[in-house]
Structure 1
Amino acid sequence: MKNLTTDFRLLIGLLLAHLLMFFTFQDKAVFWYIFSATMLILISYSILNEELEDRSSFMSYILYGILSGFILFGVFWIGYNLIELLNLPLINNISKLYGRLSPTLLWHYIVLMLIIIPGEEIFWRGFVQKRILKYINIPSGIILSSILYASVHFYSSQWILAFAAFVAGLFWGWLYAWKQSMPLIIVSHLIFDLLLFVFLPFS
């Protein structure tokens, strides 16, 4: 019987993601160009190899998407304020991340909303997690796919970004396994990023 380690479509997809994300984080000056191209490639690979699911009605995925986006932001907001309250040196790391990776130009926000957010969810939840769940149980699959999602963020040289990706991956992975709706997850991710980068940034 085929198992996780012999799913070559999954393994090739992960190898491709690591290769592309390695180059994405190499140069701040071209970060947004490379990241956009990376997500377009990963979207294409995902769609060619796995069907996307949408088992929620329009109102359901809008409502759950908005609500869950606020909930996840609330979790991060509490975490940030605890770090600030305890005066941990992680504040400097967070400030550096904002300075290096935050969108600053109009086209950054456009590609973030139209390419990067959908691309991350389509690839990591709609392709990677979905394929992993064919071989192992849901809790283990969500944890494993979240670790894999976090792993490509280590190329940023900021472990806190990888940790944040892991936490977000657990949240969106559970939500996708529960609702099986890609639009819902994309809306949730969109709301979270808008709060994080536009309306209530931490730095």
Structure 2
Amino acid sequence: MKKLTTDFRLIIGLVLAHVLMYFTFQDKAVFWYIFTASLLFLISYSILNEEVEDQLPFFSYLMYGVTSGFILFGLFWLGNNLIELLNLPFTKEIAKLYGRYSPTMLWHYIVLLLIIIPGEELFWRGFVQKRMLNYTRIPMGILLSSLLYASVHLYSTHWILAFAALIAGLYWGFLYAWKKSMPLVIVSHLIFDLFLFVILPFY
């Protein structure tokens, strides 16, 4: 772990991510503007400091991406229905999240698909996790990078969003470590968000 603490590019990247996400969640009125700008910055930082991996042919990463995105949404859908069935208090929290952060305008959907989704994967899996795996075993690297991914969502003040990010981060982290294909996890994330916000939203 000593080498990990001297990886200043990783440390600077994580500090930048926390600062940017802190400001992203401060004001609902400008959330989509700050979120988009933050991810553009993190995309640039990732590409400048880490090589993008793509070890699968087009149809393979497309097939794995679509299938895995659908499976992850299915797991979240089952979890949401279980929460409603058991009448757990999380239902109100999920409704608040949709009301506060869901895309509502056309440009929100455009930046979500073209900037935010690719940006999150490039930074958290393609940069943070990849550098973590230089110093740790694969399971630990996936866990640590997923916890870091979840941690920036705590600035939303909705712990259930951070928990959802942790589960999704573990899932996409495993996919990336397994197939070493950035396009795969981007497609998976894209399919997941399409179902979550467009095709079959929970609220």
Tell me, what secondary structure is at the counterpart of 2:39?
Answer: helix
Instruction: Specify the alignment match of 2:200 in structure 1.
Output: 200
Instruction: Specify the alignment match of 1:98 in structure 2.
Output: 98
Instruction: Specify the alignment match of 1:70 in structure 2.
Output: 70
Instruction: Specify the alignment match of 1:41 in structure 2.
Output: 41
Instruction: Specify the alignment match of 1:81 in structure 2.
Output: 81
CA distance in 2, matches of 1:144, 1:70: 25
CA distance in 2, matches of 1:144, 1:99: 30
Instruction: Specify the alignment match of 1:155 in structure 2.
Output: 155
Please give the per-residue CA displacement for 1:123-156, whole angstroms capped at 9, x wherever unaligned.
Answer: 0000000000000000000000000000000000
Tell me, what secondary structure is at the counterpart of 1:171?
Answer: helix
CA shift for structure 1 position 78: 0.8
Q: Post-superposition, which runs of at least 4 consecutive aligned residues in structure 1 deviate over 2 A?
A: none
Please give the per-residue CA displacement for 1:5-57, whole angstroms capped at 9, x wherever unaligned.
Answer: 11000000000000000000000000000000000000000000000000000
**What does residue range 159-174 of structure 1 map to in structure 2 within 5 Å?**
159-174=159-174
Instruction: Specify the alignment match of 2:52 in structure 1.
Output: 52
Instruction: Specify the alignment match of 1:112 in structure 2.
Output: 112
Q: What amino acid sits opposite 2:136 in the alignment?
A: I
CA distance in 2, matches of 1:80, 1:137: 32
CA distance in 1, matches of 2:136, 2:171: 18
CA distance in 2, matches of 1:144, 1:78: 26
CA distance in 2, matches of 1:99, 1:89: 17
CA shift for structure 1 position 2: 6.2
CA distance in 1, matches of 2:162, 2:109: 22
Structure 1 runs not aligned, ≥5 long: none
Structure 2 runs not aligned, ≥5 long: none
CA distance in 2, matches of 1:55, 1:17: 27
CA distance in 2, matches of 1:47, 1:54: 14
Tell me, what secondary structure is at the counterpart of 1:3?
Answer: helix
Alignment TM-score, normalising by the size of structure 1 = 0.99
Please give the per-residue CA displacement for 1:168-190, whole angstroms capped at 9, x wherever unaligned.
Answer: 00000000000000000000000
Alignment TM-score, normalising by the size of structure 2 = 0.99
CA distance in 1, matches of 2:3, 2:194: 38
Instruction: Specify the alignment match of 1:130 in structure 2.
Output: 130
Question: Percent identity at matched positions?
Answer: 76
Tell me, what secondary structure is at the counterpart of 1:110?
Answer: helix
CA distance in 1, matches of 2:3, 2:129: 14
CA distance in 2, matches of 1:99, 1:177: 34
